[in-house]
Chain A
Amino acid sequence: MGNDIMVNKNQIEQWIREGTITKEQADKMLRDISMYRKKQSSNKLITALSTIGAVLIGIGVILFIASNWQQMPNIAKVLVLLGSTAGSYYKGYILKYQRQTLVKVGAALIFLGALLFGATIFLIAQMYHINANTHTLLLIWLIGILPHVYALKTKPIAGLASLLFFIWIGLFVFRNMKFVSSDLIGLPVLYLVSGILLFGIGKLHYLSDNLKIIGRIYKITGIKISMLALFLLTFKFFSGYYGELDLSSQFTDGVIIFSILAIVLMAINLFFNPAKSKTSILEGAIGLGLLALALIFFFYPATTNIYVVLFNLILMGLILILLVIGYNREDMKLVNIGMVYLWIFLIVRYCDFFWELLPRSIFFMAGGLILTLGSIVLEKKRRLLKQKFVKLK
């Protein structure tokens, strides 16, 4: 969350009234807090700008080489890519760790190095005309950056690794899909299972104090992907009655393997995690429950729309749980995820229910009104929680 200011203006004024501190001391404290906030805000801006810059440079290099590919000899292509990867990576290291002068920019350059490493793999694949959208290229990229995640505990690269994991799953399905199969319809189930798997992997990292920082990234990404998959499953298109799904064997194998891994990890976390907090037990129970439901849905498609109702109820329940846990743990990330899905869920279900029932003009007017008022209420509530968390700290 980053904001670790212990006191606020109201408290300082109260201390003056009580005579705990003098006016001069209060002024000094307020000046320091103001300066600290400015510095924090400037740090965030630098991080945001340098990360966006890194991503843009990465995309630029990929596009430049992709469009000028045939004009350059092979050795030049490889050298340009290797040179820019090594240069960015090394400069990032110097700025972040050795000189420590521009830490944020250094971190962005290291991140750019990880992106360029991926670009190098993809563009070498192009050089040798390796089949487009080959999922193994993403796996090679992932394997390459994982040592960085663990050796240097780099959060953005851990985020990139999580993202690559899910894109790899998507590409794997896309590459192996038969044209007549239902793999696309089954995709949310695979993503739900793999989201829980990543969450379980993240929780496992909490067994070591050193790896908690990485575990947190995996857990949050796992929650985001699971929520997205559950949200998709609330639609009739994905969870409505389809009779027997015609799935490719690789897809079914993928769901089974990921489910077994996720069940094992969730069970390990549930029974062997020394911190048997209520939240931890709840997380384990929800994870296992969702896996059981996903597998029942996958192997026993219903003859009615029961799953549509069930997934809607579960998504609502999970949004509530995210908000409660986020509130209790003062975790703004969980609150934000909960709020975003609450809002999306309400809009989508409003459209589902009232599109046919209301005249169009009333549908749009009422929708606009609900949207405006709802966003004001939710944003106010979110800010209130954020302020409260900061004060409590």
Chain B
Amino acid sequence: MKKNKLFILIGIFWLIIILVFIGLKEFTLRTGKKVLLKTVPIDPRDLFRGDYVILRYEVSKLDLNNIPADYTNFKIGDRIYVALKIQDGYGTASKIFRELPKGEKLFIKGIVKGIYSKILNVEYGIESYFVPEGKGKEIEKLREWKNLAVKVSIDRFGNAIISSLLTNSNEISFK
């Protein structure tokens, strides 16, 4: 094959990767159900991508003594699905599944990152919130504020994406 054809094909391949990447995220963002999750921020910095805050949610810690699960022998690295119910406007964990749950309308996909006695530490892929340079510390101060929450979109496969950060039900804007 001639070099110019190879070049064009590689360019198209790159474009496909980027478009699929954007497409998957847009699918979750546009088709997903909007849920509020209570959160607490901690500030670090990503080398590649400027400032961000690490977020921890109430649903990041799942107590197996209080939340029913269809499986008990969880290991670090296990993929799990957490069914959510809305309580006082916020999503809370109602049941833990090891496999994709059937019949549940709202659930979020996560990975077990730690197990301490009967408490699972879970990551959902929504633990980073990117902000303009230098704003990370400002958000960290919000820890002292009450009712800090994140609005997430959760699609029918359990994938979640952050759509906005809220305090006292007001969206925080950095513009």
Contacts and interface: CB of A to CB of B under 8 A. Distances in A.
A70 B21 contact: no
A152 B3 contact: yes
B52 interface: yes
Given A70-B174, A152-B7, A140 B21 contact: yes
Given A129-B130, A144-B14, A152-B10, 11 more contacts: A63-B50, A68-B132, A89-B7, A122-B49, A130-B125, A131-B125, A131-B128, A140-B17, A148-B10, A178-B76, A248-B77
B46 interface: yes
Of B21, B47, B48, B131, most A-chain CB atoms within 10 Å = B48
Interface residues of B, number: 44
A250 B77 contact: yes
A124 B76 contact: no
A357 interface: no
Given A117-B14, A129-B130, A124 B123 contact: no
Given A70-B175, A131-B123, A140-B21, A249 B76 contact: yes
Main secondary structure of the interface of B (DSSP, over half): mixed
A85 B14 contact: yes
A93 B4 contact: yes
Nearest to A78: B22
Contacts of B125: 130-131, 134
Contacts of B123: 131
Contacts of A62: 48
Contacts of B157: none
B14 A67 contact: no
A123 interface: yes
B13 A133 contact: no
B153 to A, nearest CB: 10
A125 interface: yes
B77 A176 contact: yes
Contacts, number: 113
B154 interface: no
A97 interface: yes
B127 interface: yes
B122 interface: no
B133 to A, nearest CB: 5
A121 B161 CA distance: 16
27 contacts: A66-B49, A66-B50, A68-B132, A69-B50, A70-B132, A71-B175, A97-B4, A97-B7, A98-B4, A117-B14, A120-B18, A124-B22, A124-B25, A128-B162, A129-B52, A129-B126, A129-B130, A131-B125, A131-B127, A132-B54, A134-B125, A140-B17, A151-B10, A178-B113, A179-B114, A248-B77, A250-B77
Contacts of A148: 10
Nearest to B127: A131
A70 B50 CA distance: 12
Interface in A90-133: 90, 93, 97-98, 117, 120-133
A143 interface: yes
Pairs of residues from A and B, 5 with the lowest C-beta to C-beta distance, nearest first:
A66-B50, A132-B46, A129-B162, A128-B25, A132-B128
B161 A128 contact: yes
A70 B54 CA distance: 18
Contact of B133 (A66, A131, A250): A66
A263 B56 CA distance: 42
B15 interface: yes
A86 interface: yes
